[in-house]
Amino acid sequence: EDQVTQSPEALRLQEGESSSLNCSYTVSGLRGLFWYRQDPGKGPEFLFTLYSAGEEKEKERLKATLTKKESFLHITAPKPEDSATYLCAVQEYQAGTALIFGKGTTLSVSS
Amino acid sequence: GAGVSQSPRYKVAKRGQDVALRCDPISGHVSLFWYQQALGQGPEFLTYFQNEAQLDKSGLPSDRFFAERPEGSVSTLKIQRTQQEDSAVYLCASSSLGGQTEAFFGQGTRLTVV
């Protein structure tokens, strides 16, 4: 059973069309939840870390939120340059330093 | 350097061949991580170093995989007797902190075993 599930697998938006990506997780003790952006042929780029339910963080058109079972990455008025794969990962207290990644959501924004 | 550097960017190996993948972390970064990313999947944790000490190697898939960081800076991931299932992108990340917050990833080495 996957511990981190991201949905949808792929999302196509028009420029300016706001939407949300979902990351649901099942871990016994959450140490932190991470969001990364990955462009084709590149390594993941760090976006946010969330530590506790109710926490929110923002960066430009992106806003990440966290509940006890899931996290959302809200994208407001996206632009074509926001097209990428967005990865969610969790770190458990019991698992040491390892990050457990989801499979990602591939976002395509057309003008 | 300005970022995490990995070499080579691409490696084609014949089945059974040994390979060595190199990671140059950001100067001064204490923590170094190796991940394996198969096509269409998220990265999977392999191993973690704090300075020269390998503190976690729970993700290494078999005893054919070996990693080292002898002087606490450059790290090498070695795969012996490569098999087709080893084909993936191998990512290295480094962090100035003890954990994974704001870890910076390299561009990866794409390994293809034929």
Query: pLDDT tens digits, residue range B14-36?
Result: 999 999 999 999 999 999 999 99
Q: Which residues of A touch B41 (CB under 8 A)?
A: 103
- When pLDDT is averaged across residues A96-101 and rounded to a whole number, the result is 84
Q: What is the mean pLDDT of residues B44-58?
A: 94
pLDDT tops 80 at residue A94: no
Check if the beta carbon of residue B34 is closer than 8 Å to that of residue A94.
no
Question: What is the model's pLDDT at position B1?
Answer: 54
d(CA A74, CA A72): 6
Q: Do A32 and B48 touch (CB under 8 A)?
A: no
Residue with tokens 């991580």: B33
Cβ B50 vs Cβ B31: under 8 Å: yes
- The minimum CA-CA distance between A92 and chain B, rounded to whole Å, is 12
Q: Which of A18, A54, A5, A32 is nearest to A99 (CA)?
A: A32
Q: How many CB atoms lie within 10 A of CB A88?
A: 31
List of chain A residues whose C-beta atoms are within 8 Å of the C-beta of residue B93: 43-44
Chain B residue with minimum CA distance to A50: B101
Nearest-by-Cβ selection for B106 from A43, A89, A100: A43
Q: Which pLDDT value is given to residue B101?
A: 66
Which residue from A45, A96, A103 is facing B42, i.e. has the nearest CB?
Answer: A103
User: pLDDT band at residue A82, thresholds of 50, 70 and 90?
Assistant: very high
Comparing CB atoms, the residue among B99, B106, B108 nearest residue A97 is B99
Tens-place pLDDT, residues B58-93: 999 999 999 999 999 999 999 999 999 999 999 999
Q: What's the pLDDT score for residue A28?
A: 82
pLDDT of residue B2: 79
Alpha-carbon distance of B62 to B65, in angstroms, equals 6
Element (H, E) at A106: strand A105-110
DSSP state, residue B81: S
Average pLDDT value for residue range A6-19: 98
pLDDT at A35 over 90: yes
Is the confidence at residue A97, as pLDDT, over 80? no
Give yes or no for B68 touching A (CB within 8 A): no
| Residue B41 per-residue DSSP state | S
Asked if A43's CB is within 8 angstroms of B4's CB, the reply is yes
B34 and B77 in contact (C-beta within 8 Å)? yes
